[in-house]
Chain A
């Protein structure tokens, strides 16, 4: 925050959250230390780097990819990744003929262990309603034009299954190591609103 806004009042949602936390703590309903650990976990430890590890492994190890597409939950757990909002995972594969896109039209269901917490736009009503009714228009706004002959499959994760996209491995990465590949794989490519390119990198995400 710039110094110019130093004395500006806090935004209303922030104040409301503080008031709720204070009230729930006072009533003995939550342990504020537990909250701190949860926030720290999803801010620093669990995030799309986990998903990138899974994708990179699938790109270099055909047997792993087969297991991943057959049973996402157990194959992801092989890499030590599991937990809340990832209890039952399905991984869907992008190919030259099929492009997959993930949404939760009813709320904001998202695979936390592999991708972390959802971005704000993923939770917004416009994304949630238009991803199912106009996926090509939404993808165009993300800068992704899908050819008319490519099938778009939209996965509405409104039940208890959580989805993740296995993006296509870009050309020109044949000599890259698994670690180098993981660096290229972005959060957006695993939601399906972007492709992985040689220019994409996990650090450039908004």
Chain B
């Protein structure tokens, strides 16, 4: 239980879900073309439905983070690389969207496949 005397320290430090990168190789690098897997798990996921099965480009590798799909269910951290992936607005929403615009989503290795 969080005690009154511990609140300040907790608020100040928080708890990152970043994990050491040692031995965990990224499957992708910035510039790579990817497609999101059309996964539809019954449990927790951070793979937003509007972006499933869509083509994007790896913008940035954030490093290694705990994988929420397993950790949320007590199935382990399964740490893996998390990327910022750029999707053109038209890939997500069709031709009525602006050709200039894009959506960036943070996605784990398990959500992605090469395009």
Question: How many A residues have CB within 8 A of the partner chain?
Answer: 39
- A-B CB pair tally, cutoff 8 Å: 113
Give B2-25 as 1s and 0s: 1 = Cβ < 8 Å from A's Cβ atoms. 111011101111111110000000
Looking at chain B's contact residues, is the secondary structure mostly helix, strand, loop, or mixed? mixed
CB within 8 A of A41: which of B11, B100, B101? B11
Residues of B within 8 A of A133 (CB): 50, 92-93, 97
Residues of A within 8 A of B6 (CB): 34
Give A147-158 as 1s and 0s: 1 = Cβ < 8 Å from B's Cβ atoms. 011111111111
| Nearest-Cβ distance from residue A188 to partner chain B, whole angstroms | 20
With A82-B13, A158-B48, A159-B108 already in contact, the answer to whether A37 and B4 are too (CB < 8 A) is yes
Residues of A within 8 A of B89 (CB): 152
Residues of B within 8 A of A34 (CB): 1-4, 6-7
In the complex, whether B62 has a CB less than 8 A from a CB of chain A is: yes
| Nearest-Cβ distance from residue B57 to partner chain A, whole angstroms | 13
Please give me the residue from chain A that is nearest to B14 by CB atom.
A84
**C-alpha gap A147/B84 in the complex (Å):** 25
